[in-house]
Structure 1
């Protein structure tokens, strides 16, 4: 309805009422009859109807104005959505505003992860694996293979602790600067329930870091580790015996093929004569790393160096000492053809055992005088991957590490070497769904010559999203 037309009904009713009232007023000059009184009552009713219509018209105008105001505000909110958040053709929006209102304009939020079931039948020759969350019953820990015990029957364990989820917020500013925040968690925390009923485990942090162009600050894989060289395994790590494997807080700078980092330090110490591990937090310097990586159609090759301080203080025994640890690691992946590749790693060093195989043994030992003596380490693995087709692949790999202990200081009950063989087959019947079966055999040997072995058949079902 046009604005000049909106008042016509009201004016018509008003004129009508006025005319009737004037006519009746003239008649009243002569005499009041019953009919005239009835007409007056009808005029009053008409006036009431006119007033009601006027009120309704005003209410309609107010509601129309409110709707137009809300439509304008909605359009403004839609205009404020960054172009980077535009939806693909054919999809519908589920909300009108950004998921990250406090973030920089243009920030893209992504989410992903996987759900994973692990089922393991394990047999050990010299004792039973210790139970408990995060232990050798959940994944392969070569340093925990029992030695010197009695033969045990097979144990079956099932869990979903390695299920994982992550969040990422990525922004490219108008200046061209690139910012990223990344958080990743799994369920490999301490048990909050029990296997009798709830099987509840805590959420644990894996990665938490921010990047600004070439800089990284936060917790992620050590720069000394080459994650891309790890084989495709059913076990959580696979070649644990011979690989570097550390996630920790760090400050890293990457330029071209080079990367440099200063990382969180921690010294693992064996008491003189052997005994329980000492985790020293007395370091005053970070662990320093440098890495060079070369990539191509043929695969990739990387070489990394590690330089660190080993330090231990114990005021109760007046022990205070600090020495230097160092190491080098070469690793990579070599493509043999469209269906085959070789993956490998070789690491050697002095005082770097914390970085090998989830700390199979310690970085240093205390001698009779209370001084630190670094332990030499040699570790490595080699793996062959073959894909029969897009849905079925197999992996064979061997891993090993050995430690040069001064038994006069460490005693004979310390790990001398560990090694393992693995063979698996992984089938992907549907996109993002993997069903895997892996057979592994691992051996741990002590300095006194005693050894123990572990045989495990491991199945997993993994759905990534």
Structure 2
């Protein structure tokens, strides 16, 4: 009995030992599996981070794990955008054709409307296509630890003309040069660089298929400046330039950069759910050789919302020596009188536009624009522009956001002081995708 009991105990002890070894093996396998899973997860995380960038605390996506702007301040946000714009224009002019390759063939330019003598004939209509107003921009934004905001912005389009005498034309490759639009840095309330003139109310411009639309009565200038903005007020000193018409228009109008003092502007703007209203002033010095003159102008503009589907946009501009700022320089800043003195030329311009949205995808704009100049015919002669005006009606469809397909009918006229006038009729279409 004693021997049998001992054998049984030995068998039990052997089975217990075997079970203990099995448990140890299972635990070892489990630990190895857990280690393998952890390593695999780490590898997957590393791969995903390398491919898509690790999302930082601010939640903004990154396109790479290392800084994209290695020379910028740490934490600088980089952004990029632009648009592709394809334009087609069929133009009919009453008094001769607009010169091929000139700006007036690419967008509505009142000063380019031909005005001929008796019997002048524009011939058949002519068609132009281009993508020169496609553009791109880069922006770098930074906020310091003290909360100061710094921004660098640069924008360009392809409206720089041909970059090669052989290729820069419509014969083969349609090569065009990059043209600078904006290049500035802003620091809190300060801005330094090239951008829209402070005398120009960009927010009041109507939606047009044409590059500008109601060009005749529009203030439109981009130039270098130093600007300060505080609340509704902004003031700036801007690049001076004087356009001069010789006595009795004995020669072509020309520009001079002899100015000593910069152009000075000031603007006040108020806004709300109803839209916005703005008043701007401009003071200028004109200089050519040793002759000087001064000028001043005022602009009143804004947008009034009449409901969720309609708004009215407008501008009224008037002043002495306003020529360079109005309608792409339709009129001159100054004229030279018989004694060689400079006389500032008075000019006036205005536009009004009604925008109506039929659906979230379909909208239209009706516009009228006009500019006039008080020429002293004893000084300027009779061959200078007295006035220009235009009517615009467009329809724009957006099948999905950021894609616009539009058509605009334009009728414009330019009048000379000798009562001659020339007409332009144009159908302008575009396809534009903004990204």
Shorter-chain TM-score tier: 0.7 to 0.9
**2-side partners of 1:378 and 1:94: how far apart?**
50
The reply on whether 1:453 has 2:428 as its aligned counterpart is no
Where structure 2 has 5 or more consecutive residues not aligned to the other structure, the ranges are 1-42
The reply on whether 1:125 has 2:101 as its aligned counterpart is no
Task: Indicate the residue corresponding to 1:143 in structure 2.
Answer: 111
Task: Indicate the residue corresponding to 1:28 in structure 2.
Answer: none
Equivalent residue in structure 1 for 2:174, among 169, 183, 199 = 199
**2-side partners of 1:85 and 1:410: how far apart?**
63
User: Equivalent residue of 2:408, what SS?
Assistant: strand
**1-side partners of 2:55 and 2:244: how far apart?**
54
The reply on whether 1:297 has 2:273 as its aligned counterpart is yes
**2-side partners of 1:381 and 1:84: how far apart?**
48
Task: Indicate the residue corresponding to 2:25 in structure 1.
Answer: none
Task: Indicate the residue corresponding to 1:25 in structure 2.
Answer: none
The reply on whether 1:215 has 2:212 as its aligned counterpart is no
User: Equivalent residue of 2:146, what SS?
Assistant: coil
| Offset at residue 431 of structure 1 (A) | 1.8
**2-side partners of 1:297 and 1:191: how far apart?**
45
For the structure 1 residues 416 and 82, does the alpha-carbon distance in structure 2 shift closer, same or farther, using more than 3 Å as the test?
same
The reply on whether 1:344 has 2:324 as its aligned counterpart is no
Q: Pairwise mapping of residues 62-101 of structure 1 onto structure 2 (< 5 A)? A: 83=56, 86-87=59-60, 94-101=63-70
Q: Tell me if structure 2 keeps the 8 A contact 1:82–1:105.
A: no
Equivalent residue in structure 2 for 1:427, among 388, 391, 397 = 397
| Offset at residue 87 of structure 1 (A) | 4.4
**2-side partners of 1:99 and 1:373: how far apart?**
54
Q: Pairwise mapping of residues 232-271 of structure 1 onto structure 2 (< 5 A)? A: 232-271=207-246
| Offset at residue 82 of structure 1 (A) | 9.4
The reply on whether 1:307 has 2:283 as its aligned counterpart is yes
CA RMSD across the alignment: 1.9
| Offset at residue 81 of structure 1 (A) | 8.3
Task: Indicate the residue corresponding to 1:176 in structure 2.
Answer: 147
Task: Indicate the residue corresponding to 2:156 in structure 1.
Answer: 185
Equivalent residue in structure 2 for 1:444, among 411, 414, 421 = 414
For the structure 1 residues 417 and 399, does the alpha-carbon distance in structure 2 shift closer, same or farther, using more than 3 Å as the test?
same
Q: Tell me if structure 2 keeps the 8 A contact 1:138–1:157.
A: yes
Q: Tell me if structure 2 keeps the 8 A contact 1:84–1:106.
A: no
Larger radius of gyration: 1
Task: Indicate the residue corresponding to 2:15 in structure 1.
Answer: none
For the structure 1 residues 240 and 136, does the alpha-carbon distance in structure 2 shift closer, same or farther, using more than 3 Å as the test?
same
User: Equivalent residue of 2:306, what SS?
Assistant: strand
Q: Tell me if structure 1 keeps the 8 A contact 2:331–2:347.
A: no
User: Equivalent residue of 1:413, what SS?
Assistant: coil
Q: TM-score, normalised by structure 1?
A: 0.80
User: Equivalent residue of 2:111, what SS?
Assistant: helix
Equivalent residue in structure 1 for 2:204, among 222, 225, 229 = 229
After the TM superposition, list the runs of 4 or more consecutive aligned residues in structure 1 that deviate by more than 3 angstroms.
Answer: 80-88
User: Equivalent residue of 1:409, what SS?
Assistant: helix
1:224-274 CA distance string (max 9 Å, x none): 000000000000000100000000000000000000000000000000010
**1-side partners of 2:392 and 2:366: how far apart?**
6
Where structure 1 has 5 or more consecutive residues not aligned to the other structure, the ranges are 1-70, 314-319
For the structure 1 residues 84 and 415, does the alpha-carbon distance in structure 2 shift closer, same or farther, using more than 3 Å as the test?
farther
Q: TM-score, normalised by structure 2?
A: 0.85
Q: Tell me if structure 2 keeps the 8 A contact 1:81–1:98.
A: no
User: Equivalent residue of 2:389, what SS?
Assistant: strand
